[in-house]
Structure 1
Amino acid sequence: MNGRIVVASIVLTALGAGALIYWLQIYAFYEPVAFTPGEEIRLTPIIGEEPEVIVANDVTGIDADSSPLRFRACFTTPLTQAMLTETYRVYDEATPLVAPGWFDCFDAGQIDAALKTGEAIAFLSEAEVADGIDRVVAVFADGRGYAWHQLNPEEE
């Protein structure tokens, strides 16, 4: 009888810990990003080092203090891919990181596939937003845009 109680308490503790870890990874720590008007999305120009603000509408994003890699954002832009590639630095090794399922505007798999087929183009938003971390922006031909943080190529 005492063995059953011990086993049951171990199983219940493990289930509770598992549920807590899941909640911490998926929901805890994330906060909506408050984008300052006029500075929502920035890209680094081909000539120069200082990122410039681009036209971005309907910007929504999330971030967490627990890791610099948790930043994600979605937006739209009227700027064309042709204009962007002539003006801003292309980011060759872009790999979008998976966002929590509840942040449904950001689909890392779809963005990654589009980057590989050329449907979307990635740009350097800001180098070294944190130590070893770059902000990357991908823009689709229809104007949909996505931003995330990833390890810069020197850190990988």
Structure 2
Amino acid sequence: MGKFLAGAILISALVAGAALYYLQVYHFYEEVAATGNDDVQLTSLVTGAPEPVLYDAFQAIDADSSPIRYRACFTTTMSHPMLTETYELFERAEPLNAPGWFDCFDAQALGAALEDGRALAFLGQKDIQYGIDRIVAITEDGRGYVWHQINRCGEVVFDGQPAPEDCPEPPQGY
């Protein structure tokens, strides 16, 4: 009887572990269909508003389970000098890992490229959702990456603290 119970517990643990893995890595993600004209936007230095940029080969995934699960890849012909003269740079870019099956997005390689200057990060859109900014990084060879990152206001509010004075008031429920 003891061997049967031990086996049942082991099988239950394996099934639960496999289900948890599947749910975290595959189930919640959905492909994002490209609209063809405004999938990639950068914040203008002049207007302070997001503007569509030239892009091609757009691929993206997202999940309703978390606002920071968005990841996208694309290519562009826009040069670093033109981008830096036109759009707002983002200094605190920290690429977040994507599921292994979304192989166009490699957070470690992108982080290294940002550190050594082979890629530049730009603000795509501030507060795409309260406390979450959309960040766009573009390498020297025109490969682009997009992810959502918690901003300073979000870090404070999501930790249960009141919003700092220079932050917008959080929506009800935060």
Report the TM-score when normalising by structure 1: 0.96
Q: Distance in 1 between matches of 2:143 and 2:41?
A: 15
Query: What letter corresponds to residue 117 of structure 2 in structure 1?
Result: G
Q: Does 1:4 align with 2:8?
A: no
Identity %: 50
| Structure 2 residue aligned with 1:90 | 89
Query: What letter corresponds to residue 93 of structure 2 in structure 1?
Result: A
Q: Distance in 1 between matches of 2:128 and 2:5?
A: 49
Runs in 1 of length 4+ with deviation above 6 angstroms? Answer: none
| Structure 2 residue aligned with 1:131 | 130
Question: Which structure's relative contact order is higher, taking Cα pairs within 8 Å and 6+ residues apart?
Answer: 1
Q: Distance in 2 between matches of 1:141 and 1:98?
A: 21
Shift of 1:154: 3.3
Query: What letter corresponds to residue 32 of structure 2 in structure 1?
Result: V
> Does the aligned pair in 1 maintain the 2:130–2:154 contact within 8 Å?
no
| Structure 1 residue aligned with 2:44 | 45
Shift of 1:153: 3.0
Unaligned runs of 5+ in 1: none
Q: Distance in 2 between matches of 1:125 and 1:35?
A: 16
CA displacement 1:99-150 (0-9 Å, x = unmatched): 0111100000000000011110000001111121110000011111000111
Query: What letter corresponds to residue 134 of structure 1 in structure 2?
Result: D
Query: What letter corresponds to residue 102 of structure 1 in structure 2?
Result: W
Classify the secondary structure of the residue corresponding to 1:109.
Answer: helix
Q: Does 1:121 align with 2:131?
A: no
Q: Distance in 2 between matches of 1:108 and 1:151?
A: 16
Query: What letter corresponds to residue 88 of structure 2 in structure 1?
Result: R
Shift of 1:47: 2.3
| Paired residues for 1:27-38 under 5 Å | 27-38=26-37
> Does the aligned pair in 1 maintain the 2:50–2:125 contact within 8 Å?
yes
| Structure 2 residue aligned with 1:70 | 69
Unaligned runs of 5+ in 2: 156-174
> Does the aligned pair in 2 maintain the 1:93–1:153 contact within 8 Å?
no
Q: Distance in 2 between matches of 1:61 and 1:136?
A: 14
**RMSD over aligned Cα, in angstroms?**
0.9
CA displacement 1:62-96 (0-9 Å, x = unmatched): 11111111110110000001110111010100001
Query: What letter corresponds to residue 141 of structure 2 in structure 1?
Result: D
Classify the secondary structure of the residue corresponding to 1:25.
Answer: helix
Shift of 1:29: 1.3
Query: What letter corresponds to residue 83 of structure 1 in structure 2?
Result: M
